[in-house]
Amino acid sequence: MFKWPKRGGSSTAIPHDEPYRREDSAALNVVKRLARSISTVGKDAAEVRGALEDTQRIVQAQSQAMQALAQQLNQIGQAQAAIANATAQSASAVQRARGALGVVGGEVVGMATTLAQVSDAAAEITKISLQTRLVAFNAAVEAKHAGDAGRGFAVVAEAVKALAGQVEASSKAIVSAIASLQERIDRFSAELTENPAKPSQIHAAFHEVEQDVQRISVSAGESGQQMSLLNERAHELEREVSEATHGLKVAFDGSDRFLRMSEELVEQIAESGVEVDDMPFIRAAQAAADEIAGLLEDALKSGQISEADLFDQNYRPIEGTLPQQHTTRFCQLTDRLFPAVQEKALGFSDKVVFCIAADRNGYIATHNRKYCQPQRPGDTVWNTANSRYRRIFNDRTGLASARNSRPFLLQTYRRDMGGGRFVILKEATAPIMVKGKHWGGLRLAFNF
Q: Write down the pTM of the prediction.
A: 0.57
Q: CA torsion sign, 193 to 199 to 201 to 207?
A: positive
CB–CB of 276/266 below 8 Å? yes
Query: Would you state the pLDDT for residue 12?
Result: 42
Closest CA to 20 of 11, 37, 32, 12: 32
3-state secondary structure string, the chain?
CCCCCEECCCEECCCCCCCCCHHHHHHHHHHHHHHHHHHHHHHHHHHHHHHHHHHHHHHHHHHHHHHHHHHHHHHHHHHHHHHHHHHHHHHHHHHHHHHHHHHHHHHHHHHHHHHHHHHHHHHHHHHHHHHHHHHHHHHHHHHHHCHHHHHHHHHHHHHHHHHHHHHHHHHHHHHHHHHHHHHHHHHHHHHHCCCCCCCCHHHHHHHHHHHHHHHHHHHHHHHHHHHHHHHHHHHHHHHHHHHHHHHHHHHHHHHHHHHHHHHHHHHHHHHCCCCCCCHHHHHHHHHHHHHHHHHHHHHHHCCCCCHHHHCCCCCEECCCCCCCCEECCCHHHHHHHHHHHHHHHHCCCCCEEEEEEEECCCEECCCCHHHECCCCCCCHHHHHHHECCCEECCCHHHHHHHHCCCCCEEEEEEEEEECCEEEEEEEEEEEEEECCEEEEEEEEEECC
Q: Where are the domain boundaries for CATH 3.30.450.20 in the chain?
A: 277-446
Q: Where are the domain boundaries for CATH 1.10.287.950 in the chain?
A: 74-226
Query: Would you state the pLDDT for residue 189?
Result: 66
Residues of the chain with pLDDT under 50: 1-20, 22-23
User: Left, alpha or beta for 371 (phi > 0: left; psi -120 to 50: alpha)?
Assistant: alpha
Query: Would you state the pLDDT for residue 448?
Result: 84
- The CA distances from residue 151 to 134, 159, 197, in Å, are 18, 13, 69
The string of pLDDT tens digits covering residues 236-251 is: 777 777 777 777 677 6
Identify residue 45 by its one-letter amino acid code.
A
CB–CB of 111/181 below 8 Å? no
Classify each residue of 364-380 as buried b or exposed e, where b means 16 or more C-beta atoms within 10 Å of its C-beta: bbbbbeebbeebeeeee
Strands 6-7 and 11-12: antiparallel
Cα 445 from Cα 448, distance rounded (Å): 10
Cα 84 from Cα 80, distance rounded (Å): 6
Query: Would you state the pLDDT for residue 161?
Result: 65
Query: Would you state the pLDDT for residue 355?
Result: 98
Cα 401 from Cα 289, distance rounded (Å): 12
Query: Would you state the pLDDT for residue 371?
Result: 95
Most distant CA pair in the chain, distance: 181
The string of pLDDT tens digits covering residues 99-113 is: 766 676 666 677 667
Name the CATH topology of 277-446.
Answer: Beta-Lactamase (3.30.450)
**46 Cβ partners below 8 Å, 6+ apart?**
259, 412, 413, 414, 424
Closest CA to 345 of 292, 409, 414, 275: 292
- The CA distances from residue 87 to 47, 213, 221, 406, in Å, are 59, 6, 11, 74
Query: Would you state the pLDDT for residue 14?
Result: 44
Question: Class of the 74-226 domain?
Answer: mainly alpha
Query: Would you state the pLDDT for residue 153?
Result: 64
